[in-house]
């Protein structure tokens, strides 16, 4: 029996991949037509978000801030959550000017369940409901895994990128069921596309996307879920603005080996909110990244060769560090040219939301 199964699997290994590619090529026009029809259909059923209640975590900068503005333009009541209350003050005023009838700001840490309960309970006390929960808190890195000389940074990256999304969802879910609301998730293409220097970030985002894909089936349509997947986005995270604790030291790394420019955060925010009010399950920016899914599934060696060429043209890794010294820092200023933060990894790095 075992030998028979081995033989069957051997045959299928040769037959299924090319046959699937042929079927995909033949069905692609039909699938594209169906997808277009779905977009047209859902465009006539846009949710009126005016006077509804939207909670945005990580709202003090980047994608979270711009998403708040997009909801404000649509007349939603906003609950803005981040650790930097001072930063939230200005964003709250901007949101009001853009059309938000009411804006509640809450200083909270989303990796703490008790903080999440506090701002959700305050939302219910103030507005009596939650219609959309938008999770945007995220923290990336650009160091090789073996460069980490202190593993204490590993749980922190998972806490922010995974639990910082799960805890607000866990607390808000009963109220979202009552309103038949929606959860919006800020994911990243790294959840399936392996990019060098982002091993821990990629692992956390993969866990996040799989969690919400599973939750989608569990909720069975009672609460909608929109997963937003982005490629390179120009935010404070990619410009090196981080909060450091306990006088930690940090170092800058010039981005000499990865030449890329950030796509407009505002454009991505518009796509996310438009997808959320249409009830879309997924939104991707830019959409051409999907082509790499074919390579990952059917020709993974192509990705491997590509990254090896991009990562080290001379066959050697050359990581450059520019030290900032050992003096305590509260917030690293944006440099005059594009840089990305690399942890010296004895520090405790925290994102500036």
Give pLDDT, residue 3. 80
User: Which pLDDT belongs to residue 289?
Assistant: 72
The pTM of the full predicted model, rounded to 2 decimals, is 0.74
CA-closest candidate to residue 243, choices 156, 169, 162: 156
pLDDT at 18: 83
Give residue 320's pLDDT.
31
Q: Which pLDDT value is given to residue 198?
A: 83
Enumerate the active-site residues: 201
What pLDDT is recorded for position 311?
Answer: 61
What pLDDT, on the 0 to 100 scale, is given for residue 233?
Answer: 54
Class of domain 38-246+257-310: alpha beta
* Average pLDDT along the chain, 353 residues, taken 10 residues at a time: 81 83 83 80 82 95 92 97 90 96 95 96 97 91 81 88 96 96 90 81 92 95 92 50 32 31 74 92 79 74 75 45 27 32 38 44
């Amino acid at each position: 029996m075992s030998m028979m199964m081995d033989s069957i699997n051997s045959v299928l290994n040769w037959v299924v991949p090319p046959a699937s590619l042929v079927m995909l090529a033949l069905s692609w026009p039909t699938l594209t037509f169906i997808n277009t029809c779905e977009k047209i259909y859902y465009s006539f059923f846009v949710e009126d978000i005016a006077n509804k209640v939207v909670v945005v975590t990580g709202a003090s900068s980047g994608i979270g801030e711009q998403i708040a503005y997009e909801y404000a333009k649509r007349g939603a009541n906003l609950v803005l959550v981040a650790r930097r209350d001072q930063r939230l003050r200005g964003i709250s005023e901007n949101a009001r000017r853009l059309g938000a009838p009411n804006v509640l700001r809450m200083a909270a840490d989303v990796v703490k369940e008790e903080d999440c309960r506090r701002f959700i309970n305050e939302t219910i006390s103030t507005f009596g409901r939650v219609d959309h929960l938008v999770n945007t808190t995220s923290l990336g890195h650009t160091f090789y895994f073996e460069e980490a000389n202190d593993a204490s940074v590993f749980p922190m990256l998972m806490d922010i990128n995974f639990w910082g999304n799960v805890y607000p969802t866990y607390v808000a879910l009963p109220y979202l069921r009552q309103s038949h609301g929606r959860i919006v998730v800020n994911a990243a293409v790294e959840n399936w596309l392996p990019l060098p220097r982002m091993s821990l970030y990629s692992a956390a985002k993969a866990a996040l996307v799989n969690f919400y894909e599973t939750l989608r089936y569990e909720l069975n349509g009672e609460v909608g879920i929109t997963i937003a997947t982005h490629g390179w986005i120009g935010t404070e995270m990619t410009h090196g603005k981080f909060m450091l604790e306990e006088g930690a030291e940090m170092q800058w790394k010039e981005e000499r080996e990865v030449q890329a420019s950030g796509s407009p955060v505002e454009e991505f925010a518009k796509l996310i909110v438009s997808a959320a009010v249409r009830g879309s399950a997924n939104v991707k920016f830019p959409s051409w990244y999907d082509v790499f899914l074919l390579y990952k599934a059917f020709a993974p060696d192509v990705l491997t060769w590509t990254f090896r060429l991009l990562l080290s043209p001379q066959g050697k890794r050359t990581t450059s560090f520019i030290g900032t010294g050992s003096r305590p820092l509260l917030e690293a200023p944006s440099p005059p040219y594009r840089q990305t933060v690399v942890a010296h990894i004895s520090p405790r790095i925290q994102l500036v939301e």
